[in-house]
């Protein structure tokens, strides 16, 4: 037993060293984050001088410093329209701004809402459409759809091929950049206050992190509910029925999704460097093992959510460099528990199942078997990982200086065969 514990400790230290070698170190994490904050600030200063009506935010793996060169991660850009004011009730209406009122009822899909356009000169509902993205509902209200037709035209003009690259709600002309045009709401909807009221052990998130996260509001992202492939809404409210003159608008085109990305940024930046290594290592495993089978339907956001719950539920003392192996296994066990339940909760929004619209129920037992194999073999798959030469680096750290790439390739093929038989 003691020898097993010592071997796990040595393996964890080697993993930590390898992660540092590929750019996931305390110094590089801080530098990456400073660099992207500086890029974000410089770009927004340029917008102020050029009167561009958007504020740009840089999110994702690059700004979080949870990536490595071999992962080839893209950069997520949110472009927030400045003069559009999203409000939760009529009392927050502002003169001179394009006010958008959040509409929800008991049949509205989780994490989603509709946006009603209001007049800017007086607190009354708009009665005429103003843009190609506006539509009239069954009660004559002007609803802002998520089609972003004007944005599509702009992106298409910048694209050399004339094609638009789409990843979820993003539209871009460059594969390495995801651009999403969003609206900001300074208030927190009821379901987005979940993180501040539910029971928790108390050591994480820290009180100062929670205080800052509470004040940043939410984004409204142009993405409809994804429970079914056709993306029809479950809502049967007659007020939001599609008029006969607009047969081309399914409900998903009317819906906007709440995004707590700014909250998540505070939480991510509160990770220790060991927690960043643990999370990034699990992302590498996902990209090499599960992505060939599930694509991005089992995503890094599932892993990020599981990481936050794992940090919250386990004591701070376990997050050490000589314990990274156990930390990754605890993270994988959190995901496995959700896979068995067929339910992946959202960390900051209540009533959301992140598996909906992503993974089919018949795929979950296979994913569960894969995770069990990874935990039971104590991440031996990492010795067969080509990304950033992780396998070779681990072998050399273990004293195998003369190991060849051919031998690693052979062992990788053997590992793949084992996983295929398991699934």
Q: What is the mean pLDDT of residues 57-77?
A: 90
**Whether 413 contacts 379, CB under 8 Å:** no
Same domain, 179 and 86: yes
pLDDT, tens digit (0-9, with 9 covering 90-100), for 302-342: 999 999 999 999 999 999 999 999 999 999 999 999 999 99
| Residue 63 is assigned to a structural domain of this protein | no
pLDDT, tens digit (0-9, with 9 covering 90-100), for 175-221: 777 888 999 999 999 999 989 988 888 889 999 999 999 999 999 99
Same domain, 256 and 292: no
Closest C-alpha to 344, from 311, 307, 305, 290? 305
Compute CA distances 47 → 44, 53, 83, 98, 194, whole Å: 5, 8, 14, 20, 34
Burial class (CB in 10 A: 0-12, 13-18, 19+), 47: middle
Assigned token pair, 70: 């071999």
pLDDT band at 162 (very low <50, low <70, confident <90, very high): low
236 or 8, greater pLDDT: 8
Same domain, 198 and 288: no
Same domain, 230 and 303: no
End residue of a domain, out of 192, 225, 260: 260
Question: In this predicted structure, what is the pLDDT of residue 378?
Answer: 94
**Whether 119 contacts 101, CB under 8 Å:** no
| Residue 399 is assigned to a structural domain of this protein | yes
Q: What is the mean pLDDT of residues 88-107?
A: 91
Assigned token pair, 109: 């899909």
For the entire predicted model, the pTM comes to 0.87
| Residue 51 is assigned to a structural domain of this protein | no
End residue of a domain, out of 235, 260, 285: 260
Task: Name the domain count of the chain.
Answer: 2
Share of the chain above pLDDT 90, in %: 60
Same domain, 335 and 308: yes
Same domain, 82 and 180: yes
Which residue segment(s) compose the domain that 170 sits in? Answer: 75-260
Same domain, 251 and 111: yes
């Amino acid at each position: 037993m003691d020898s097993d514990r010592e071997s796990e400790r040595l393996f964890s230290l080697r993993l930590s060293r390898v992660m540092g070698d590929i750019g996931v170190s305390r110094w590089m994490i801080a530098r990456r984050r400073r660099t992207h904050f500086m890029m974000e600030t410089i770009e927004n200063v340029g917008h102020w001088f050029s009167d561009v009506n958007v504020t740009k935010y840089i999110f994702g793996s690059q700004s979080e410093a949870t990536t490595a060169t071999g992962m080839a991660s893209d950069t997520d850009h949110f472009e927030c329209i400045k003069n559009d004011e999203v409000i939760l009730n009529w009392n927050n209406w502002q003169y001179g701004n394009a006010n958008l009122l959040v509409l929800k009822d008991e049949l509205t899909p989780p994490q989603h809402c509709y946006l009603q356009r209001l007049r800017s000169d007086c607190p009354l509902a708009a009665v005429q459409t103003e843009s190609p993205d506006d539509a009239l509902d069954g009660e004559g209200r002007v609803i802002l759809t998520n089609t972003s037709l004007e944005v599509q035209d702009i992106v298409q003009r910048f694209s050399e091929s004339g094609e638009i690259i789409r990843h979820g709600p993003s539209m871009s002309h460059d594969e390495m950049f995801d651009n999403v045009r969003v609206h900001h709401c300074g208030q927190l909807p009821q379901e987005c206050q979940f993180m501040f009221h539910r029971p928790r052990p108390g050591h994480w998130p820290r009180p100062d992190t929670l205080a800052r996260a509470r004040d940043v509001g939410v984004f409204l992202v142009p993405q409809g509910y994804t429970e079914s492939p056709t993306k029809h809404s479950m809502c049967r409210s007659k007020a939001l029925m599609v008029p006969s003159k607009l047969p081309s608008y399914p409900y998903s085109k009317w819906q906007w999704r709440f995004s707590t990305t700014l909250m998540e940024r505070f939480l991510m930046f509160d990770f220790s460097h060991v927690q960043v290594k643990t999370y990034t290592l699990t992302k590498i495993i996902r990209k090499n093992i599960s992505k060939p089978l599930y694509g991005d339907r089992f995503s890094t956001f599932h892993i990020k959510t599981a990481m936050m719950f794992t940090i919250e539920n386990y004591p701070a003392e376990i997050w050490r460099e000589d314990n990274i192996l156990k930390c990754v296994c605890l993270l994988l066990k959190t995901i496995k528990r959700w896979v068995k339940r067929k339910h992946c909760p959202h960390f900051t929004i209540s009533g959301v199942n992140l598996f909906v619209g992503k993974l089919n129920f018949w795929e979950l037992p296979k994913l569960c078997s894969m995770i069990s194999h990874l935990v039971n073999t104590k991440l031996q798959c990492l010795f067969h990982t080509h990304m950033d030469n992780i396998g070779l680096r681990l072998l050399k750290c273990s004293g195998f200086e003369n190991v060849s790439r051919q031998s690693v390739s052979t062992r990788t093929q053997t590992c793949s065969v084992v996983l295929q038989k398991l699934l």
